Amino acid sequence: MIHGVVPPVVTPLTAQGALDEASLAGVVDEQVAAGASGVFVAGSTGEVALLSDEVRVRALQVAVSAADGRVPVLAGVVDTGTARVVRQAERAEEAGADAVVATPPFYIAPHPAEIARHFRVVAAAVSIPVVAYDIPSATHVPLSASVLRELAGDGAIAGFKDSSGDIAGFRRALGALGDVPALTGSELFADLALELGAAGIVPGLGNVDPQGYVRLSDAVARGDLPAARAEQERLIRLFRIVEVADRGRIGATAAALGSFKAAMWLRGAIDSPRTSEPLGALLPSEIDAVGAILEAERLL
Amino acid sequence: MIHGVVPPVVTPLTAQGALDEASLAGVVDEQVAAGASGVFVAGSTGEVALLSDEVRVRALQVAVSAADGRVPVLAGVVDTGTARVVRQAERAEEAGADAVVATPPFYIAPHPAEIARHFRVVAAAVSIPVVAYDIPSATHVPLSASVLRELAGDGAIAGFKDSSGDIAGFRRALGALGDVPALTGSELFADLALELGAAGIVPGLGNVDPQGYVRLSDAVARGDLPAARAEQERLIRLFRIVEVADRGRIGATAAALGSFKAAMWLRGAIDSPRTSEPLGALLPSEIDAVGAILEAERLL
Amino acid sequence: MIHGVVPPVVTPLTAQGALDEASLAGVVDEQVAAGASGVFVAGSTGEVALLSDEVRVRALQVAVSAADGRVPVLAGVVDTGTARVVRQAERAEEAGADAVVATPPFYIAPHPAEIARHFRVVAAAVSIPVVAYDIPSATHVPLSASVLRELAGDGAIAGFKDSSGDIAGFRRALGALGDVPALTGSELFADLALELGAAGIVPGLGNVDPQGYVRLSDAVARGDLPAARAEQERLIRLFRIVEVADRGRIGATAAALGSFKAAMWLRGAIDSPRTSEPLGALLPSEIDAVGAILEAERLL
Amino acid sequence: MIHGVVPPVVTPLTAQGALDEASLAGVVDEQVAAGASGVFVAGSTGEVALLSDEVRVRALQVAVSAADGRVPVLAGVVDTGTARVVRQAERAEEAGADAVVATPPFYIAPHPAEIARHFRVVAAAVSIPVVAYDIPSATHVPLSASVLRELAGDGAIAGFKDSSGDIAGFRRALGALGDVPALTGSELFADLALELGAAGIVPGLGNVDPQGYVRLSDAVARGDLPAARAEQERLIRLFRIVEVADRGRIGATAAALGSFKAAMWLRGAIDSPRTSEPLGALLPSEIDAVGAILEAERLL
């Protein structure tokens, strides 16, 4: 289940800030049509940290319904502590998720042994697979290869998603995981991760250009590295959309997610570029700059 | 309401890990009897990050009932994003909290302007006061004096709790806040914070020695700095209980909260030293070491 | 020797960037006249990291000559590794320093036991006292209370200078050091550090207002805390000069040291506000803003 | 000149801690014989931060003499500030270095514009090429792609060595540098860096297994990625020698450099495993563990 291109879909909002169910269903459809092997709902790109529990569940239901069994739906169950993640995971299972994606506990400062216990408790609480998620830029809690080795050996985790940016660490993790599949969250070295043995990729930028990462993944699969490299270089150029916003006014999260949604809106994939509170919005001129990059890359 | 000694009470658990309501009511009673001006439920010391929403609400109800109007009850509403904190705050208000204590959004990387917006949205959602909580060791998101100035000026926040450890920053915050009261979360320089103009203190160690911080606070209030200094030095010695645990086995949060609960258990204040999943427990020998420090300080 | 107000004097440069010996001698004279108990040459405020060995030695010789036995001269011997610091310390002793001030090794990632060994080797290499210097914002290597305890107990260090900003840690260090004197490098809580038992203060801002910190120190010494507090509050306002520079153009070091030198230049204490390569200069408008703060504080 | 395998050679010491010139000459010879395209003296692996200026110069002279024009010799000129690096670079040029390798200024907190100025001043001071060196784990000062673009465009730098561990950043740097060659310092993804277009590699582990990285580099050059991958995987297993030391006793630098030297000593490449003060030594049992890994990898 955990392989191929599994985009972390955005959570489209209406101009008033409510969940835009129709747009979300459309995004899922578009991804499936483009060749995605799954969709990941309520990941970091899906603004999981900013969504209420009700919206998380509803977004998941909409995605499950839209996927309609064609591809599995993974659900982010990001929360600070074990009991909280267990509740998120139970709700996700109930809403039809095929797997849940959980980080180590954060806000607290856990020991690796506590991180391992966390995942074991979560895994025991649900009957769907648990994917361990390493995103230290958000959690400030790294997930080590030795914890992964232990959890993979136990069967406590069924997958690993790496958004650390550390490819040496990813390589170490691949060795530690054995048969348990690993996904990279990197938009910028998806090609390399696949060459090294990643089972799949989870690129936020895949929301903007669904075909691109599928082509990249297919190229690696058939051993055509020049094609993979060229596709990756093109996607790296496209990723410059995250740099258009004035960072003296909005934060890094707002700049990145705002540019993804702006690009999707310009391409007609969603009805509004709006992001969740308290993220600042891109200015019209910044949205224009996103559009210019899309045009330069022939995506508009 | 926001002044004096406002201990961040622990959340006592039974040996099986359930909320121990009787122990929690006893802790609140003990604090009120010792002279606390309020109690802070579901703070970092109260394991807020590890409690389910249900336990947060129930603990708050128990504390409100135990306080019985004698002192105000502040409720921690720690969560990653604005919509989530709003829900926490609404539930806290409904459960009888007199004020809520909220951090900036975390997991995301917010701009100061987004932090300010976050607090404004939370403040608008409830009719009880909002206290802004700076604890960058947990959130990795600092709260600046300029944001505090803006929020205090607007009336969006009714108080500030500083757990940054940065006394120069606290001093700057005092200047920025004007009449809005500031609390320090430091166990180790409560005396200095009060001398500088803090309205109150929120010491986790106050769970272990409720009288100590009240004596310290009273000493500063009557201008008896030598007495305050002596009390503080004694409490600094007592604080060494957080260092007894072997950190090769459990994390910093487990070591600190575990030692507080172990000390309270040894003193008969709670029925079990248990902490929430996934925190590792102190070893019996470590609990003995806590006991030895309590004896040395004549608290046992 | 290590007590009272020991300003970390700037290293005045000519407009062409050479050491301005006359201005440096004047600065030392001014400090002695204002009541300084010593001067600290080639500290972080003295741009030690940016001075060649030749200029470090020459600046020290000039200061020793200007002090002329009236007050001791401490010399910064900041360098990355033990052998390098030993050479710096030997040269400083030869140039007449009364003590040297050394950080832990940096660039490397030392274990506390290696930090302790470093100081022991440096102390064995010279016959003048060694002061241990904790400035993790520069070195990224903290100096712990347990290392200080060990070094103080051994007699390897004759003093401690704390520029960590962490007053709880300073308090712990005071306990660990026993009779070994501790200095704070803080401009913003010099009053509190002295109240807690600091033997002296090393405020970079003392270059701008030599009398201020002497008054503050004297006030604490005679137990007049309201006077100390008022003086400290005034100096905190004055410290806002470090915030005038546009940080989109120059770094934090350039902004702070540039504002100190600009203020001294405006007050006639040095002949040029120039700082060392590669620091960017304050703009004329920024120097004006420094002047406006000096005027508001009646220092111009 | 800046291409191929350019190992950062260790600085062999006698058992008494002096420079072991014969061993250093032997190491250079061994590297040239193994197919190195150059040697890098006084890099981080060469303990540059811990060597006196005299030893830096003497080591360089020995290496230049041993290389005897067969391969170029690059010299690390690591120091905190511009004037200091200029002096290091002048001495290196005088001692016969073919190029110098310099980091951004550190200890201070420079702005990118100040980092750029630093490199321009250094480049203007010597007539040999300057290679910019990004090693934020040591300097805590990252070197951005935009600064590299500017310096490469100006001709101020003739090369870039990346030891950041961030392959997405390395990719960005490759784009920014144009024709200016880039080297990776990674032992763990040398294969990937070469595939992406690195001109060469600077692996500390190459001291232990000189042939390995040459084989890896050759395999990438002839397009045999499976062979490159296999070689890299073998070298990753070998790199586990850096993990044998008990980190409760010595630091990360001591553990890594100590294991390299221990392995070289076991293989007869140098006469003593000694490292510079203040680094702690590996225990005999830890040296045995290094030996066991060497044996498992058939290097002993």
Residue with tokens 């007539």: D127
- Condensed to tens digits (0 to 9), the pLDDT of residues A59-101 reads 999 999 999 999 999 999 999 999 999 999 999 999 999 999 9
How far, in whole angstroms, is CA C110 from its chain's centroid?
A: 24
Question: At C201, which amino acid appears?
Answer: I
**Nearest by Cα to A177 from A204, A146, A207:** A146
Query: Which spans in A144-209 are helix H?
Result: 145-154, 167-177, 190-196
Which residues of chain D have a Cβ shorter than 8 Å from any chain A Cβ?
165-168, 171-172, 175, 186, 188-189, 192, 195-196, 225, 236
Q: Please check whether residue A258 is in contact with residue A279, taking contact to mean a CB–CB distance below 8 angstroms.
A: yes
Phi, psi of D77 (to 5 degrees): -125, 55
Alpha carbon distances (Å) from D272 to C137, D45, D67? 36, 16, 22
Cβ proximity of B239 and B187 under 8 Å: yes
Measured between alpha carbons, how far is B83 from D211 in angstroms, rounded to an integer? 58
Give the number of other CB atoms < 10 A from CB of residue C199: 22
**DSSP bridge partners of A75:** A41, A100
User: What gap in Å lies between CA A297 and CA B283, rounded to an integer?
Assistant: 60
* C161 flagged as catalytic: yes
Chain mean pLDDT for chain D: 98
**What is the per-residue pLDDT for B77?**
98
Cα–Cα distance for residue pair A131/B259, rounded to 1 Å: 33
Residue A1 has pLDDT above 90, yes or no: no
- pLDDT of A153 reads 97
Q: At C34, list the tokens.
A: 């204002």
A252-266 vs A284-296: helix axis angle to the nearest 10? Answer: 60
Q: Decide if pLDDT at B1 tops 90.
A: no
Record: contact A171-D188, CB cut-off 8 A: yes
Element (H, E) at D224: none
Q: Name residues of chain C where pLDDT drops below 70.
A: none
- Pick from D114, D129, D111: nearest CA to D82: D114
Asked whether the beta carbons of residue C53 and residue D84 sit closer than 8 angstroms, the reply is yes
Q: Looking at residue B18, what is its pLDDT?
A: 98
CA–CA separation, D283 and C38 (whole Å): 45
| Among the listed residues C280, B197, A161, the one whose alpha carbon sits nearest the alpha carbon of residue D111 | C280
Q: How far apart are CA C144 and CA D86, in angstroms?
A: 34
The answer to whether the CB atoms of A105 and B49 lie below 8 A apart is: yes
What is the predicted pLDDT for the residue at D1? 79
The half-sphere exposure of D234 on its side-chain side, counting CA atoms within 13 A, is 20
Question: Who among B49, B83, B139 is closest to A276 (CB)?
Answer: B83
Closest CA to B31 of B19, B17, B46: B46
- What are the structural domain ranges in chain C? 4-224
C-alpha C127/C-alpha C153 separation (Å) is: 18
- For chain D, first and last CA: distance in Å? 32
Q: Is the peptide bond before D278 cis (omega within 30 degrees of 0)?
A: yes
Q: State the pLDDT confidence band at A296, using cuts at 50, 70 and 90.
A: very high
D4-224: CATH topology: TIM Barrel (3.20.20)
Residue A120 pLDDT exceeds 90:
yes
Residue in B165, B171, B236 closest to C166 by CB: B165
Contact A139, A104 (CB under 8 A): yes
Mutate to test the interface with D, among C50, C54, C118 (most CBs of D within 10 A): C50
Question: What are C118-160's pLDDT values in tens digits?
Answer: 999 999 999 999 999 999 999 999 999 999 999 999 999 999 9
User: Coil, strand or helix: which one is A191?
Assistant: helix
- State which residues of chain D have pLDDT below 50: none
Number of helices (H), then strands (E), in chain B? 12, 8
The 3-state DSSP class for residue C10 equals: coil
pLDDT above 70 as % of chain D: 100
What percentage of chain B reaches a pLDDT higher than 90?
99
Query: Could you tell me if C231 and C205 are in contact, meaning their C-beta atoms sit under 8 angstroms apart?
Result: no
Residues B107-114 have a mean pLDDT of: 98
**Residue recorded with tokens 């009850």:** B73
From the CA of D247, how many Å to the nearest CA of chain C? Answer: 8
pLDDT for the residue numbered C1: 79
DSSP three-state, residue C290: helix
The pLDDT assigned to B119 comes to 98
